[in-house]
Amino acid sequence: MKKMTRKERIIAAINKEEVDRLPFSMWYHLPHVDQDPVQLAEMQAQLARCYDLDFIKMMPFGNYCAHDFGLSVTFYCTETQPAFERKFAIENAKQWTEIEPLPGYFGTYGKQVLFAKQLKKELKGEEIPYVQTIFSPLTTAKKLAGPRVFKDMKTHPVYLHQALSAITETTINFIKLNIDSGVSGFFFATQCANREWVSEEEYDEFGVKYDIEVINSYKDITFMNIVHIHGDNIMFEKVARYPCNCINWHDRWVKPDMAEARKLSDKCFLGGINEKWWLPNAKPEDIRTHIKEVVSAAGRKGLMIGPGCVARLDTPKINFYAARVAIEGL
């Protein structure tokens, strides 16, 4: 089979067609540079070349979506400690009504738009697709308030719906500017499609409604649209029905595994590497066996290899190289 470009390889995987080799990517936080969009773009482009990635999953700091709404964040700016919330923005239910839509170029959102523009500039025409990380509106609300969002969901649903509408509008404003900046798609992460936090009915009302509105704003424009389902007790079947073309979840330590998921969805899967405890502690020579297991479970068509979520910062860099080398010939 002739050698494919990265884009051809990804599109073939999404369409469950034959590929010359399995598409591969890896991502982790870069807290020492992620407050400077220019340096962050330089670093992610450098890592994409270093590991020969098929696509770049853009890595703005994890709380960027809530920062402009009043979340206070501690920035450590070291290689080992990602930014972390210092003080929640929502301390009483009435404060949800103070959340208003923001333009996509405002504040921290604007810095991530610049990040996308700088990444395009840094790649200098190299065909390396890159996808922007976005969060579901309810996930952003959780970042703003912490677990109290689930209490307010029950006691003050009208207030929360008002905030979710404003967050949704802001997210769509941000999406449009990223499309203009050349992104190939979006990595849509939900941390709340999780039965530990909400019931199926609650997620239908406070999650699905806004998730679909966000995804519909780009699904017919960009070609690589991934949904990430975060957590342990996930609503896989519900989110798998979203209008995305690739699904990412903690497939090596959360149900369903890849084999079970194949019975539930015909979409492309992204994953196969246990980033939580296996990859940081693995011997490089064992990584090929680890990846081979998931290829056997999921099949070679409709599969891209990567972590189930962000890789740990204490992962030896040699293991990232070993993972890339391991996919040759599988």
- What tens digit of pLDDT does each residue of 186-239 get? 999 999 999 999 999 999 999 999 999 999 999 999 999 999 999 999 999 999
The reported pLDDT for the residue numbered 277 is 87
Domain locations in the chain? 6-326
Residue 304: beta bridge partners? 270
The reported pLDDT for the residue numbered 114 is 98
Question: Would you state the structure tokens that stand for residue 267, as one six-digit string?
Answer: 């979409």
Strand order in the sheet with 224-229: 56-57, 130-135, 185-190, 224-229, 246-249, 268-273, 303-307
The reported pLDDT for the residue numbered 270 is 98
User: Any residues with CB less than 8 A from the CB of 92 and at least 6 apart, and which?
Assistant: none
pLDDT digits (tens, 9 = 90+) for 255-306: 999 999 999 999 999 999 999 988 999 999 999 999 999 999 999 999 999 9
Average pLDDT over residues 116-122: 97
Question: Would you state the structure tokens that stand for residue 238, as one six-digit string?
Answer: 């519900």
pLDDT digits (tens, 9 = 90+) for 139-189: 999 999 999 999 999 999 999 999 999 999 999 999 999 999 999 999 999
Helix (H), strand (E) at residue 12: helix 6-14
Instruction: Name the residue among 17, 18, 22 with its Cα closest to residue 6.
Output: 22
Cis omega (within 30 of 0) on the bond before 256? yes
Amino acid sitting at position 70 = G
Domain 6-326 has CATH 2.40.10.10: no
pLDDT at 329 over 90: no
- Under a CB-based contact definition with an 8 Å cutoff, are residues 137 and 214 in contact? yes
Instruction: Name the residue among 191, 265, 278, 276 with its Cα closest to residue 234.
Output: 191
Tell how far CA 5 is from the center of its chain.
23
The reported pLDDT for the residue numbered 133 is 98
Provide the percentage of residues in the chain whose pLDDT is more than 70. Answer: 100
pTM of the model: 0.97
Provide the percentage of residues in the chain whose pLDDT is more than 90. Answer: 97
User: Any residues with CB less than 8 A from the CB of 126 and at least 6 apart, and which?
Assistant: none
User: How much is the mean pLDDT over the chain?
Assistant: 97
